[in-house]
Chain A
């Protein structure tokens, strides 16, 4: 059973097309992240689903009920799709309880649903506080509770963590994810942060220039991106020009095994690897390719190295372990490839 169906959604602002045929399906009870760079139309998609914008073409179905199609545009209040905006948008003149209870009728307000949802987001006992007395993270938690309280068929989150600092963001992501799952809510998260999308979502939909270019489980999208653009947008990518020979490809890093035999019309392909698939050994210890370290971005638990290959091509490699053990700028290393690689026709 699916809870949200967007079919052929189109929306233009004047001459600028924000959505040019979006198809998106979200299963009941799951959390889907729509990931895309700024300006790709993801916020417009969310505003169309919520009913704040009118679709030019296509249809939207929520919980088996059509809420938008040509000639029909259900008002936001009749869709009952809850929204968690970027900055929380708490009603500043209402207490926490007033905010969370805003979408509830009198009976539901008395039934204890307010404290139940507050508990869900980790703010039990905060009913009487005013929004200005809360930290940024707490305000976002209240915004999530307010969205969940009326048990909406769908919750939309519009980059809800982007205004918070990094440490707080990770904790809040986990808590919000847990709260959504505990409440059995169906949710769509819109974000440009790939880390956020990968860590929170049950399913990922990558959006570019007004269309969804790939959707699937985060691990599948990370491992098998649909094209080189998705590969380098969702995480770091090593893209190599290569010549395919059946299940192998001849690359500047040597012979690499492919996940699927390349049987297109051309054997000229682009081979895709993740930086962690490049293994570095002391120079001359193996029969790999020799490369020089050009740059080193140290991240603590790992480091990302930029390597120059003999033919001038530059590739990234991720090395784990102690800082002292990894190569430094100017070192010569031998590079070998771990595992299989994906190939895209060129």
Chain B
């Protein structure tokens, strides 16, 4: 239809800005040269790190698939008592940042550290990534398809494996990918439970030894791992992830659990107790000690203010960059706009520690005037969270279809007037909600914030990390509680969308 050269140009610029960290990392790796990279990569230490990161990702992903698919099936397709309540509980762990969960375990259980400690914390925090899409997919399956399978002579078990499971397989794969990506990128939990994965090694190499090349090379390996994972998921998706759902579907029937109901209830309750009860109990215990400590309220207020300041700056930049990309995707759907939208996910998939590190180098070597300012941190947030804002803008733009603007112009109104009276009022709420969610997401971010915050500026996340790393649990608790509250809002919005849909 209509060409939109201005929008396209602005989108290209926005995507380019979002890709600065990745691009700069590639440039630096190229400058370092292959011999130096090879010398760093092919060492026993890198092999151990890689084995540990991949092993952790495998264990956590498997555990999340078992817990996520199991609870989704029980909540959506069985006659489990209190299943609505269990559904909400299963989504809630998303509101516990992994470093808060790590803090609560470390501060409660003596000697809580190592590989399996990290695996436990990461599983309890990430299984909703599998539960939510699988529950949505199971709810969307059409009872008629299972009935047809039964009527064609297949038994209940063959119908379940041949029809039901196949339909939710894309949802399981998507959820598992999110979990694996998350494990690769997690920094907070693994550093609190003292497990050396790539992210922690990158951070220590940089912040303790100031070993730039080492940090750079390890980052590059992490990027390669992430890209391999994304490619693998892309291959499985191409085999037909979209299933047509013609006509109106009926909700599927529920399976009677009979005598098995109590063991299942016990299992779900145990998962929730570990994922939610444990952090809650720990927070309450340390909070009563923490807030009473004199002088801490001023610190908390300052950190909250700083968090808000850097996050609002980040959300502003992110939304500004997302506007052209989202509008272009909504108004000129096609190969080009879909490709641009997809490119914004590249930064989102990368670990925050990599983004942060690349921007530290970028600040020191290229944009020194930005180094140690809040704007370089804002750029890191934009690179990490651009797709969230692009999605919000895309959805908001769909609220004002071109037919409305055409009609408004045919009533004799000039384009600018139409934009002010029709387009803006219809899209602003969606864009605003997207920006608000971005603020909250930025507030939780830890590794890039640690690397890029201006010296002396402490945020909620960095205060929690600093206090926990020197075992000041009572001092850390108020920050942990505030961060859970902040993370609960986007989780609530997300689970409301998925569970009620």
Q: Which residues of A contact B (CB under 8 A)?
A: 50-52, 75-83, 85, 87, 89, 91-93, 102-103, 146-147, 150, 156
Contact = CB atoms under 8 A, between A and B. Distances in A.
Given A91-B422, A93-B425, A93-B426, A50 B406 contact: yes
Contact of A76 (B399, B410, B425): B410
Interface of B: 399, 401, 403-404, 406-415, 421-422, 425-426
Contacts of B399: 92
A135 to B, nearest CB: 20
Nearest to A83: B410
Contacts of B421: 102
Contacts, number: 58
Nearest to B401: A89
A150 B411 contact: yes
B424 to A, nearest CB: 10
Contacts of B411: 77, 80, 82, 102-103, 146-147, 150
B413 A103 contact: yes
A77 B409 contact: yes
Nearest to A155: B410
A146 B408 CA distance: 10
A75 B408 contact: no
A52 to B, nearest CB: 5
Contact of A89 (B404, B413, B415): B404
B404 A81 contact: no
A85 B408 CA distance: 11
Contacts of A75: 409, 415
A79 B410 contact: yes
Interface centre among B411, B414, B421 (most CB of A within 10 A): B411
Contacts of A93: 425-426
Nearest to B406: A52
Nearest to B422: A91
Contacts of A52: 406, 410
Contact of B403 (A51, A89, A146, A156): A89
A156 B411 CA distance: 12
B403 A150 contact: no
A50 B411 CA distance: 10
B413 A77 contact: yes
B70 to A, nearest CB: 40
Nearest to A50: B410
Interface centre among A80, A89, A147 (most CB of B within 10 A): A89
A139 B96 CA distance: 46
Contact of A82 (B410, B422, B425, B426): B410
A102 B425 CA distance: 14
B407 A85 contact: yes
A93 B404 CA distance: 11
Contact of A77 (B401, B404, B412, B425): B412
A103 B412 contact: yes
A240 B328 CA distance: 56
A76 B403 contact: no
A77 B410 contact: yes
Contacts of B407: 83, 85, 89
Contacts of B414: 77
A150 B412 contact: yes
A75 B418 CA distance: 13
Nearest to B429: A93
